[in-house]
Amino acid sequence: MWAAHLPDCGDVGLAWQWMLDERRGDVLLRDLFGIVTNLRLCTATDEVLPAFHAMRHHGDLIRALPWTERVLQSCHPAPVWAVAA
């Protein structure tokens, strides 16, 4: 989930399901149709995009956020090495 407070828009958020492809070491957006958001996207003429058209842009936004690195770090934390003193 990603959430923010934007001064001109108020509180906005995006939530999605993800999956881990351990063979490739990738984190993937599980279902583009399952994105939940209160974010509304508009055209240059201020028309709200229908959900079907906005879905692609929501997916692009999610892919641009730095969440995959954090998920990978939490699933595969760096090894801790014990060193004799």
Q: What is the pLDDT along the chain (85 residues), one digit of tens a residue?
A: 888 898 888 998 989 888 888 788 788 888 888 889 998 888 999 999 998 899 889 888 888 888 877 777 777 665 545 555 4
What is the span of the domain harbouring residue 24?
Answer: 2-75
**Segment (H or E) for 72:** helix 67-75
- The total number of residues written for the chain in this structure: 85
Number of domains within the chain? 1
Any domain includes 26: yes
pTM: 0.67
User: What's the confidence (pLDDT) of residue 52?
Assistant: 87
Q: Comparing C-alpha atoms, which of 58, 50, 12 is closest to residue 33?
A: 58
Token pair, residue 65, equals: 């956020």
Contact between 27 and 74 (Cβ < 8 Å): no
Q: Identify whether 29 is part of a domain.
A: yes
Q: Is 3 left (phi over 0), alpha (psi -120 to 50) or beta?
A: beta
> Does 80 reside within a domain?
no
Question: Distance between CA atoms of 12 and 31, rounded to whole angstroms?
Answer: 20
pLDDT at 73: 74
